[in-house]
Structure 1
Amino acid sequence: MFASKRLSKELQKLQGTLPPGISLISAENFEEWLMDIKVMDDNPLYRNEVYRLRFRFGSSYPIEAPEVTFVQDPSHPIPMHPHVYSNGIICLDLLDTSGWSPVQNVESVCVSLQSMLTGNSKNERPPGNDAFVRTNRQRPRDINFVFHDNKV
């Protein structure tokens, strides 16, 4: 029940004023929401593109991170980025169990992803993209990514 209370408050805020380049597309229930983001600077890799994000919430949200992926459809490509697989899965510590904090919310995740795209200058996918997309059967939140700044 805590997830629905928190999501209800977030939805109220999202239906009001949002940061530039972020739009709420659908939030028909407290299980899955769609948001659109656009990179607001003049990064040539993402100019004039709008990207769709799917947020899936578990019953432990916000203690547990939502599952966030880019969604491809005819008008929304999956962005080319070294931390975004071609199936829309995002490798970002903020979305991982170890990097998530309950103070985060849908809006802050969208802003973080805008920032991640804004700072990118490489028109490439993560190493091993094709094999990962072909063989991965795990849900994004169950994947144990190793981040470059993890201590060994």
Structure 2
Amino acid sequence: AQVLSKIACLRLQKELGEWQASPPGGFTYKVSDNLQRWVIEVSGAEGTLYAGETYRLQVDFPEQYPMEAPQVIFMHPAPMHPHIYSNGHICLDILYDSWSPAMTVSSVCISILSMLSSSPAKERPSDNDRYVRNCRNGRSPKETRWWFHDDKV
């Protein structure tokens, strides 16, 4: 594994401190000594299709964070959602092309929860099986050439 740059380390320590002071609603950081991989528990929002359900996100930070986006995937079992593949990959533009160094883990979590909350149906993306098959050899979601279906989601 690559080692985080000094900038990434300082930035993540700061983010973790801010998270612990005021965690985003619906999320719990699973404490570990690995700054480079965070595991975050997500609780489905009340009044949505995912109410009462709990999922886990695995967030891996690249050496050049925050210039480069973190890799964020749902750990098994991933929620049933039109933009979440069964292997946990998430089709959300801010994790790829629209990432900005001003974003934080908290802001990414809030975007993911709002994506979950606005889902009209619990179903997999239409190309789920093909996509998951193509990722079998351990391909990272960052290597996918995403085509974002809909800016409103």
> Is TM-score (shorter-chain normalized) higher than 0.5?
yes
> Structure 2: how far apart are the matches of 1:19 and 1:81?
21
Q: Does the alignment pair 1:71 with 2:75?
A: yes
- State the match for 1:143 in structure 2: 144
Give the superposed CA RMSD.
Answer: 1.5
Q: Which amino acid aligns with 1:19?
A: P
1:10 to 15, 20, 38: 15
- The C-alpha deviation readout for 1:70-103, integer Å capped at 9, x for no partner, is 002xxxx31110100001000110101x210111
- State the match for 1:122 in structure 2: 121
Q: Which amino acid aligns with 1:110?
A: C
User: Secondary structure of the equivalent of 1:51?
Assistant: strand
1:28 to 33, 37, 46: 33
Q: Which amino acid aligns with 1:46?
A: Y
Q: Which amino acid aligns with 1:71?
A: M
Equivalent pair of 1:85/1:133 in contact (CA under 8 Å): yes
Equivalent pair of 1:63/1:102 in contact (CA under 8 Å): yes
- State the match for 2:80 in structure 1: 80
User: Secondary structure of the equivalent of 1:89?
Assistant: coil
- State the match for 1:95 in structure 2: 95
Equivalent pair of 2:82/2:125 in contact (CA under 8 Å): yes
Q: Does the alignment pair 1:107 with 2:111?
A: no
> With structure 2 as the length reference, what TM-score do the two structures score?
0.88
Q: Which amino acid aligns with 2:126?
A: P
| Unaligned runs of at least 5 residues, structure 1 | none
- State the match for 2:51 in structure 1: 47
| Unaligned runs of at least 5 residues, structure 2 | 1-5
- The C-alpha deviation readout for 1:41-89, integer Å capped at 9, x for no partner, is 311x2120011000000111111100000002xxxx3111010000100
> Structure 1: how far apart are the matches of 2:105 and 2:148?
22
> Structure 2: how far apart are the matches of 1:23 and 1:95?
20
Aligned residues: 144
Aligned pair in 2 of structure 1 residues 82, 149: CA closer, same or farther (>3 Å)? Answer: closer
| 1:149 Cα deviation from its structure 2 partner | 5.1
